[in-house]
């Protein structure tokens, strides 16, 4: 309450419209509420406003409760309305009520409120809900975006998640842009939001605390957050796309006819009004978030589309396919502007690592943080590529191993100083962007690694494998 003295004076003055507004914000005893409404009803009758009193008597929730729990008291008010037997001492009753409220209502100094808020924020940081060093706007109730750390090779394992069952595993993962949420989509159709500091499910989200998880009908193969961190898009094995509200876990939109085959990748436009999707049906589509309808369709790939995204200004679409190509499309006209076939460098007299059987499947395309129109491209070779929006390969990184270690996924550090790639040998390789040199490697799982994501501000890498493990690595 802003001003307790003012409230008590309003009771003494009989300003019941102001009193009712204030008590709506308070947790008063039931009997005290009965006293307030009873006094207000008596005064309405005394002021010849019986019709207003009759309406309140029939519609007030407080008086309905009085009828159920104190029927004699309710009947006394009705009798007063009908008979008005004698005048009551208004001032004396107001004074008695004011004294009761004076004792019941407690106020704290502003400094105490700030202390409690500070303690609350510290508790949330201890629980991993808020990150240490992140500023919190008390007036907006929002967390400012975490400042990106200086890039360091994240090669130290610190926590793991194990999905239940022998056949349940994470099929995809994504961080929100502000770094507060890590989402996974699993083979059993569930979508979960995790605390990446502790490896535990986020219980501060009420629906997860109550075990009401977001879920689709089939395996979830793609998840992606909107740039404002409010929405989460998910795509499933049966070609459906659903849009979720992150804070409530409620499904905002269902796009049942997203594709005819499995959804493999999703991406939001810059203004979060459109969603691009890639599928095993070889197609790329743009969907309207508001209408849920297909707005554009891009044809040209001859195999599975493994990755899609909008360019930084949303004028281009980039797609990666198992046909061995990256295509760059005009988002408005749907024309294909560039087709790129990333190939490792072949020395003189060296055999083609593809064995002459075609191009290596392109797995993913990741924008570089400092230059969003330049992209990291991963295909199933021993080389990672840097691609410009004009379709030119401008840099490569290779561990130079010949067999059994082709890259299957990749990521970029927050500042763009390091390039990560995981090979078929489940080893994570880290390259220095400027020099192109391999600065280190670490075996991340004894099983088959399926994918990886890098935190957008912290030196944290998350890897998931085919046996249900999600493994977290940080800088030492």
Q: Give the pLDDT of residue 350.
A: 46
Question: Quick one: which H or E segment has residue 193?
Answer: strand 190-195
297 exposure class (CB count in 10 Å sphere: 0-12, 13-18, 19+): exposed
The set of residues, in sequence order, having a beta carbon less than 8 Å from that of 404 and lying 6+ positions away, is: 423, 424, 425
Q: How confident is the model at residue 138 (pLDDT cuts 50, 70, 90)?
A: low
How far is it, in rounded angstroms, from Cα 187 to Cα 270?
29
Q: How confident is the model at residue 56 (pLDDT cuts 50, 70, 90)?
A: confident
CB 335 within 8 A of CB 300: no
Q: What is the pLDDT of residues 251-298, one digit of tens each?
A: 999 987 789 999 999 999 999 999 999 999 999 999 999 999 999 999
Rounded to 5 degrees, what are φ and ψ at 60?
-70, 130
How far is it, in rounded angstroms, from Cα 329 to Cα 317?
5
Q: Give the pLDDT of residue 51.
A: 84
pTM over cut 0.85: no
Which residues does residue 266 pair with via DSSP β-bridges, in sequence order?
Answer: 277
Mean pLDDT of 153-160: 96
How far is it, in rounded angstroms, from Cα 7 to Cα 324?
73
Mean pLDDT of 104-114: 67
Cα 383 to chain centroid, rounded: 33
Q: Give the pLDDT of residue 468.
A: 96
How far is it, in rounded angstroms, from Cα 257 to Cα 435?
46
Tokens (6 digits) for 342? 């990333």
Is a pLDDT exceeding 80 seen at residue 107?
Answer: no
SS3 309: strand
Poorest-confidence range of 108-112, 234-238, 279-283, 466-470? 108-112
Mean pLDDT of 208-236: 96
Rounded to 5 degrees, what are φ and ψ at 376?
-90, 130
Sheet architecture: strand order including 449-454? 156-162, 469-474, 460-465, 449-454
How far is it, in rounded angstroms, from Cα 467 to Cα 165?
9
Which position has the token pair 């947790």?
A: 27
Q: Give the pLDDT of residue 133.
A: 55
Which position has the token pair 């502000």?
A: 178
Q: How confident is the model at residue 141 (pLDDT cuts 50, 70, 90)?
A: low
SS3 308: strand
Is a pLDDT exceeding 60 seen at residue 354?
Answer: no
Is a pLDDT exceeding 50 seen at residue 349?
Answer: no
Q: How confident is the model at residue 86 (pLDDT cuts 50, 70, 90)?
A: low
Residue length of the chain: 476
Q: Give the pLDDT of residue 79.
A: 84
Tokens (6 digits) for 302? 């001859």
Q: Identify the CA nearest to 96 among candidates 218, 31, 203, 12.
A: 12
Q: What is the pLDDT of residues 118-134, one digit of tens each?
A: 777 776 665 555 655 55
């Amino acid at each position: 309450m802003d001003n307790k003295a003012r409230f008590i004076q309003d009771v003494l003055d009989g300003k019941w419209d102001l009193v009712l507004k204030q008590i709506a914000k308070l947790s008063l005893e039931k009997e005290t509420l009965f006293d307030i409404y009873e006094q207000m009803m008596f005064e309405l009758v005394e002021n010849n406003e019986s019709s207003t009193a009759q309406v309140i008597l029939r519609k007030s929730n407080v008086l309905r409760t009085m009828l159920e729990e104190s029927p004699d008291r309710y009947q006394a008010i009705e009798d007063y309305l009908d008979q008005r037997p004698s005048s009551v001492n208004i001032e004396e009753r107001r004074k008695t009520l004011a004294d009761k409220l004076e004792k019941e209502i407690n106020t704290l100094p502003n400094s105490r409120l700030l202390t409690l808020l500070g303690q609350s924020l510290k508790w949330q940081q201890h629980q991993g809900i808020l990150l240490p060093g992140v500023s919190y706007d008390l007036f907006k109730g929002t967390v400012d975006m975490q400042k990106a750390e200086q890039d360091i090779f994240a090669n130290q394992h610190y926590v793991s998640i194990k999905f239940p069952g022998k056949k349940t595993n994470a099929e995809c993962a994504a961080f929100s842009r502000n770094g507060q949420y890590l989402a996974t989509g699993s083979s059993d159709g569930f979508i979960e939001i995790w605390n990446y500091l502790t490896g535990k499910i986020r219980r501060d989200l009420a629906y997860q605390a109550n075990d009401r998880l977001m879920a689709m009908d089939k395996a979830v193969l793609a998840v992606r957050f909107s740039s404002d961190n409010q929405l989460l898009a998910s795509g499933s094995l049966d070609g459906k796309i659903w849009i979720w509200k992150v804070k409530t876990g409620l499904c905002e939109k269902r796009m049942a006819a997203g594709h005819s085959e499995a959804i493999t990748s999703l991406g939001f436009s810059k203004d979060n009004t459109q969603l691009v999707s890639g599928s095993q049906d070889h197609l790329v589509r743009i969907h309207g978030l508001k209408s849920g309808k297909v707005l554009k369709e891009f044809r040209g790939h001859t195999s599975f589309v493994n990755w899609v995204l909008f360019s930084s200004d949303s004028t281009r679409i980039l797609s990666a396919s198992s046909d061995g190509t990256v295509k760059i499309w005009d988002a408005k006209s749907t024309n294909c502007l560039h087709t790129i076939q990333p190939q490792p460098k072949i020395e003189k007299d060296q055999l083609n690592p593809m064995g002459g059987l075609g191009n290596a499947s392109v797995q993913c395309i990741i924008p570089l943080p400092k230059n969003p129109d330049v992209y990291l491209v991963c295909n199933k070779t021993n080389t990672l590529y840097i691609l410009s929006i004009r379709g030119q390969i401008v840099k490569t990184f290779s561990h130079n191993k010949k067999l059994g270690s082709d890259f299957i996924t990749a990521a970029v550090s927050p500042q763009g100083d390091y390039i990560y790639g995981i090979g078929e040998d489940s080893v994570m390789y880290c390259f220095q962007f400027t020099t192109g040199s391999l600065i280190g490697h670490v075996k991340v799982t004894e099983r088959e690694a399926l994918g990886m994501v890098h935190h957008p501000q912290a030196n944290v890498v998350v890897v998931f494998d085919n046996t249900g493990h999600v493994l977290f690595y940080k800088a030492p």
